[in-house]
């Protein structure tokens, strides 16, 4: 049963993927995913995203002007997409898989408001691996209004005007030493963003040397 939060803009389903399957999925995704370390320049300074990331599906979700060629669905990811579509009663054509290698990795305050996902996008986020915090604040405010601990197998659905009214973040947690994988399913329909930031991203193995 989904719990509705933020007046129904965010739905939380604990253990949407049951624990044994969530552990197996995490191990398989760690092994199978061709991780990308994303590097670009911002105001002349080199930046590397504090997480590894890969796009799958028919379309890629371009953020911050970074454009990627999506990889085709794997059977495992297509299976998870079908479940995400059933939970959200929506169709998805784009997936970003992100690896937070440890508590130094995270994602800063942002909203998924790229016009290519439409006005009130429905987004399904699935977590595997170690638990991490997921914070939400109203747009224009510094006050956190929701502080969730997301565990392996948990699903979050964001919908309605969530991306206009709120921002979200996965903060660094220096005490966390274990990895987490997050999947976000989106429906991308608009033309690709015109703003294109060149990047010099490279495929990496993680853990290094394995
Ligand atoms: O890792 C998460 O739980 C959130 C990911 C996220 O914010 C995003 O993909 O936009």
Measured distance CA(198)–CA(8) in Å, rounded = 38
User: Among 97-106, 153-162, 199-208, which is the least confidently predicted range?
Assistant: 199-208
CB neighbours of 94 closer than 8 A, spacing ≥ 6? 55, 56, 57, 58, 59, 60, 61, 70, 185, 186, 187, 188
Among the listed ranges 16-20, 156-160, 181-185, 205-209, which one has the minimum average pLDDT value?
205-209
Check pocket membership of 95 for ligand 1, CB cut-off 6 A.
Answer: no
Q: What is the pLDDT of residues 121-173, one digit of tens each?
A: 999 999 999 999 999 999 999 999 999 999 999 999 999 999 999 999 999 99
Instruction: Give the Å distance between the CA of 198 and the centre of ligand 1.
Output: 22
| 29, 168 Cβ separation under 8 angstroms | no
Cis peptide preceding 207, ω within 30 of 0? yes
Average confidence score pLDDT of the chain:
94
Per-residue model confidence (pLDDT) at position 115: 85
Distance CA 139, CA 145 (A): 11
Higher pLDDT residue, 184 or 210?
184
Q: CATH says 3-191 is which class? A: mainly beta
3-state DSSP helix/strand/coil percent for the chain, to nearest 5? 15, 40, 45
* Cβ-based neighbours of 189, under 8 Å, separated by 6 or more: 59, 116, 117, 118
Cα–ligand 1 centroid distance for 125 (angstroms): 7
* Residue-wise pLDDT tens digits, 45-74: 888 999 999 999 999 887 777 788 899 999
| Residue 33: pLDDT over 90 | yes
All residues at 6 or more sequence positions from 21 whose CB lies less than 8 Å from its CB, including other chains: 153
Distance 184 CA to ligand 1 centre (A): 7
Contact 129, 26 (CB under 8 A): yes
Those residues whose C-beta lies under 8 Å from the C-beta of residue 58, and which sit 6 or more positions away, are: 70, 93, 94
The pLDDT, as a whole number, for residue 210 is 59
Q: 40 or 190: whose pLDDT is higher?
A: 40
């Amino acid at each position: 049963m989904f719990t509705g939060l933020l007046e129904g803009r965010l739905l939380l389903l604990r253990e949407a993927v049951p624990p044994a399957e969530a552990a197996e999925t995490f191990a398989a995704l760690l092994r199978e995913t061709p991780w990308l370390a994303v590097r670009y320049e911002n105001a002349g300074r080199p930046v590397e995203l504090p997480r590894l990331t890969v796009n799958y599906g028919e379309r890629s979700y371009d953020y911050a002007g970074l454009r990627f060629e999506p990889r085709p669905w794997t059977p495992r990811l297509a299976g998870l997409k079908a479940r995400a579509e059933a939970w959200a009663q929506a169709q998805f054509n784009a997936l970003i898989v992100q690896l937070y290698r440890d508590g130094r990795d995270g994602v800063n305050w942002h909203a998924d408001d790229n016009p290519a996902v439409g006005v009130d996008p429905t987004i399904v986020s699935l977590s595997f691996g170690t638990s991490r915090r997921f914070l939400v604040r109203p747009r224009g405010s510094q006050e956190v209004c929701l502080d969730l601990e997301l565990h392996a197998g948990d699903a979050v659905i964001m919908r309605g005007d969530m991306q206009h009214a709120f921002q979200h973040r996965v903060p660094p947690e220096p005490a966390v030493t274990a990895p987490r994988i997050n999947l976000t399913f989106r429906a991308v329909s608009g033309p690709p963003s015109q703003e294109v930031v060149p990047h010099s991203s490279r495929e990496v193995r993680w853990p290094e040397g394995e």
